[in-house]
Structure 1
Amino acid sequence: MMIYHDIERPGAAELLKWLQTTDLFTAPASTKYHGAYPGGLLDHILDVYYRMFPEAQQAGYDTETIAVVALLHDICKLNVYKAEEGGLSFSYHDDFPLGHGEKSVVLILKYMELTVEEMLAINWHMGAFDSRARTDMRNLNSVFNRNKLAVMLHIADMQATFLDDCKKGGHING
């Protein structure tokens, strides 16, 4: 399954088993903004991985760290979309509304450990699009100033969202 063989740390196999019980292969990446089609989430996370990998590897990050942050940054989106109108549109309902990046971190930590740098990268991958950043940019600026991995993940996520997802039938509205 995907590139998860690059993640070998304790708990990774259990995380993979859980992922296989979710809608990872069929979920959209959003209801209407990007990757808003069945399988859009999987396409999106793979695009993030492929966008991020060369630069992060050149910056000295190991394959496992790159795979962890790129492939798992949006697992907060699993099992929250319901197909409407014959599968052409989606509604959103989250039974665990913890937040975006922070929810992904918590879900991963249920199965395997993350480094502090990985946690911060996943937690802040939305950058200024995160509602927390709108009220206090100090934390976001602090993370981005000290954590190249977080910046690389954010940039790869934005490239995948605004450049790659639109080409595949997802679209950016408003």
Structure 2
Amino acid sequence: MTAKEEFISIYKENIKREGADKLLEYLERTDFFTAPSSTRFHGSFKGGLVQHSLNVYHCLKDYLSRPRTKELYGMDYSEETIALVALLHDVCKIDFYTTEMRNKKNEETGQWEKVPFYTINDNLPYGHGEKSVYILSGFFYGENRLTREEAFAIRYHMGFSYGGTEERGTIGKALEMYPLALALNVADMEASYYMEGSNK
């Protein structure tokens, strides 16, 4: 099963709210299933974004199933919520990367060659997690909108590694108020640094 097939299978099995079908159609019209997850760090390859999304899903499922996690935080979320926040936390990266060429020395031949590399071309500069919430809100609205905790989890999934100008106290307060945000941050970091990483 390919990463795309696994993603679609988990998505269809778990995300049932109105707007889910249209969102999946949208994802298939974009580069979501072929885009990298970063330019040179985790998932910096074709299809890296969908693979990262799956890794975060599996890490989040594992984290939330641990007895100690449930005991400490009282976390008990629906399968739909878990799939939604994990699989869709990085939809902000749709149509975000482009491929350019640069010169690189071939270590075997000593010759310089043109090689492709990913670069950022952000046509919707709306931040990171907040852009994902914004995009998803175009499909899930009214009674089917993201719950407040789902929205905060996606918005703050980067935790303290977010590179924006936000005050650290705001991030800490969000993670304290919404345990799912903390759980998604843990899953995202585990997937990014331990499962994927720049050297994996």
> After TM superposition, is the score higher than 0.5?
yes
- 1:46/1:87 CA distance change after superposition, 3 Å: farther
- For residue 37 of structure 1, give the secondary structure of its aligned residue in structure 2: coil
| Higher normalized contact order (CA 8 Å, seq sep 6+, divided by chain length) | 1
Distance 1:128 1:67 in 2: 23
Q: Between Structure 1 and Structure 2, whose CA radius of gyration is higher?
A: 2
Rate the CA distance shift 1:2–1:90 in 2: closer, same or farther, 3 A: farther
The number of aligned residues is: 168
Query: Is structure 2 residue 54 aligned with structure 1 residue 38?
Result: no
**Gaps in structure 2 of 5+ consecutive residues:** 1-7, 102-113
Indicate conservation of the 8 Å contact 1:23/1:78, yes or no: yes
The one of 50, 60, 66 equivalent to 2:58 is 50
Q: Aligned-pair distance for 1:88? A: 4.1
Output the aligned Cα RMSD. Answer: 1.8
List aligned pairs for 1:5-44, cutoff 5 A. 5=12, 6-44=14-52
| One-letter amino acid of the structure 2 residue matched with residue 165 of structure 1 | E
Q: Please identify, of 138-147 and 63-72, the stretch whose mean Cα deviation from structure 2 is larger.
A: 138-147
Hey, what's the Cα distance between the residues in 2 that align with 1:153 and 1:23?
23
Q: 1:60 to 1:40 in 2, by over 3 A?
A: same
SS at match of 1:76: helix
Q: Is the 8 A contact 2:27 2:33 kept in 1?
A: no
Partner of 1:64: 80
Shift of 1:165: 1.0
Select 1:94's aligned residue among 122, 134, 154.
122
- Tell me the TM-score normalised to structure 2 length: 0.79
Aligned counterpart, 2:131:
103
Query: Displacement of 1:91 after TM fit?
Result: 1.2
The 2-side partners of 1:61 and 1:55 are apart by 12
> Following the alignment from structure 2 to structure 1, what is the Cα–Cα distance between the partners of residues 183 and 80?
15
Structure 1: give runs of 5+ residues left out of the alignment. none
Residues of 1 paired with 2:138 and 2:117: CA distance? Answer: 31
Q: Structure 1 residues 171 and 77, CA, compared in 2 at 3 Å: closer, same or farther?
A: farther
CA contact (8 A) 2:132 2:154 kept: yes
Sort the Cα spacing of 1:2 and 1:83 in 2 relative to 1 into closer, same or farther, 3 A. farther
> Could you tell which deviates more after superposition, 78-87 or 2-11?
78-87
How far apart are 1:135 and its partner, in Å?
A: 4.7
Q: CA deviation at 1:10?
A: 1.0
Provide the residue aligned with 1:151 in structure 2: 182
Whole-Å separation in 1 of the counterparts to 2:123 and 2:49: 19
The alpha carbon displacement at 1:82 in A equals: 1.1
Shift of 1:89: 1.4
Query: Which of 126, 131, 134 does residue 163 from structure 2 map onto?
Result: 131
Deviation for aligned residue 1:18: 0.5
Identity %: 39
Q: Secondary structure at 2:173's aligned position in 1?
A: helix
